Amino acid sequence: MFAKRQSVLAATAGTPPARIALRDRLARVGRFVKKPPVAVAGAGLLLLAAAGLFVTVLGDPRAGAPSARVALERHAPAPAPTPTGLEAFSMDAGGVYADLTGESDPALLGEAVITLPDGATVSGDGAPVTAPRVAARPLTAAPIAGLHQPGPDGPLPRIAPDGRVPAQAYARPFQSNGKPRVALIVGGLGLNPTTTRAAIERLPAEVTLSFVPYAEGLQGWIDLARAQGHEVMIEIPMEPTGYPANDPGPYTLLASAEPAEIEAKLNWLLSRATGYFGVTNYLGDRFAGSEAGMTAFTGLLRQRGVAFLDDGSMSRSRGAWARASANRIIDEQQSPAAIVGQLNALEALAKARGQAMGSGFSYPVTVEAVARWAAGLDARGLQLAPASAMANRPGR
C-alpha cells in the first residue's frame, strides 16, 4: 500500500494545482453553512459579536450605578477576663445575685443605703464601692505532709503519727488581744466564680470560708483562699425536712442510713480536696434528729482530726475532734438593713459573752456588708477571729 501511494505522489509531482472557479468555491461554502450544526453555531457567534459591539459603542449599562468593594475580615472575639472581687461589686452586684438565686430581691435592688459606725456605706443598688481588695496574708500551702492518707476516692485527712491534726494545722493562727472576739463563716462558695473570688479577695483573712464539695475546681479555690489568708471548711450535705423534694445532692447523709453508708459518703465528700481544718453542715435538720447518724458522723471526724462547726441548728450535737456552733445566721433576709442589724446584734452578744460567731451565705450583699462592717471592729472594741478559734475540744 505504501508503494502505490508513493507512485501517485511521484506522478503528480511538479504539476501546477488545478484552478477552481470562484462560483464553485462559494457554492462549497454555502453547502457547508447550510448544515444545521454549523448554522446554530454561527447564529450564536453573531449574537455575541452584536452584544460586544453594543457594549463597546454605548458603554457598560451598569457603569452609572454606585458600587463599592470592601474587604471583610472576621476577628475572633477576645475572651472576657474573670472580674476581680472589686469589679464584681462595682459593676453588677444585682445581676450576680440574680444568677445565684434565680430571682432578684427587691431590697437588694432598691435604694437602701446603710451607714456603718465607721462612716462607710453599704448599698444594694449596684453603685460603685470604695472598699479595696484586702492585702494577702497567706497560710501554709496544702497539703501538709503527714496529714493525709490515700482513700478510695482521693486523699483523706488523718491524724499524723506525731500527733498533728488537720483541725489545728490548717486553721488560721490566732492570738487574742483581750477584746471580745467575733467570728464569721461565709459559705456556699465555689459554684459562682465571681462571688467566690469576691469573698476571697474582699473579706478580711480572719473570715472563715466554706466551700461546696460539688464545686468544679474545688482544690484551686481552696488554694486561692489559703494564699489570701483564709482558713476553709467543706460543707457536708445532710438530709433536710422535705427530702427528697428538697435534695442537697447525691452524697447527702440520710437519717435512715447505716453507719457504713454514712462512712462511704463522708469519705467521698472529705476526699474532694485538702487544706480544710473542719466541716460544716449544709441543711440537715432531719439528719440532726438521728442520734445514730450524728454519732457515726461526728465519730468519723474525731478519728480523722477534723473539726465540726454548724450553723447553729445542731448545737446540741457533740463529737468531732473540735466543736462550735454559730450563734446566729446573719442573712436570712437578704437586704443591707437586715444584715447590718444581725451584725450589730452579733457585736452586742460578743460584748456580753466575750465571744460570738455568725454564719452567712455568699450573696453579694452579704459579702459587701461584712467587708464594710469588719473594717471598723477594732475601733468598736472587738477583735475579729477565725472560726477555728471558737471551736473547743470535747470535754474541754
Instruction: Report the distance separating Cα 66 and Cα 63, nearest Å.
Output: 8
SS3 at position 383: strand
Nearest to 393 by CA among 208, 188, 171: 171
Q: DSSP assignment of 75-92, as one string?
A: PPPPPPPPPPHHHHHHH-
Nearest to 377 by CA among 360, 361, 355: 355
Which uninterrupted H or E stretch holds 208?
A: strand 208-211
**Model confidence at 107: pLDDT above 50:** no
Surface-to-core class of residue 309, CB atoms within 10 Å of its CB (0-12 exposed, 13-18 middle, 19+ buried): buried
SS3 at position 149: strand
Distances (CA, A) of 278 to 36, 112, 230, 274, 305: 100, 36, 13, 11, 9
pLDDT in tens, 27-63: 665 665 566 665 556 666 666 666 565 555 455 555 4
Nearest to 182 by CA among 376, 351, 375: 351
Looking at per-residue pLDDT, the higher value among 24 and 112 belongs to: 24
Could you give the domains of the chain?
A: 150-390 (3.20.20.370)
SS3 at position 287: helix
Instruction: Report the distance separating Cα 178 and Cα 56, nearest Å.
Output: 103
Which of the given ranges, 10-19, 56-65, 362-371, has the highest pLDDT on average?
Answer: 362-371
Contact, 190 vs 365, CB < 8 A?
Answer: no
Q: Which residue has the cell 503519727?
A: 161
Contact, 129 vs 122, CB < 8 A?
Answer: no
pLDDT in tens, 156-189: 999 999 999 999 999 999 999 999 999 999 999 9
Rg (CA), the chain: 42
- What are residue 182's phi and psi, to 5 degrees? -135, 140
Instruction: Report the distance separating Cα 393 and Cα 396, nearest Å.
Output: 5
For 375-386, what is the mean pLDDT?
A: 96
**Model confidence at 94: pLDDT above 70:** no
Q: Which residue has the cell 447525691?
A: 250
pLDDT in tens, 316-328: 888 899 999 999 9
SS3 at position 247: coil
Against a cut of 0.95, is the pTM above it? no
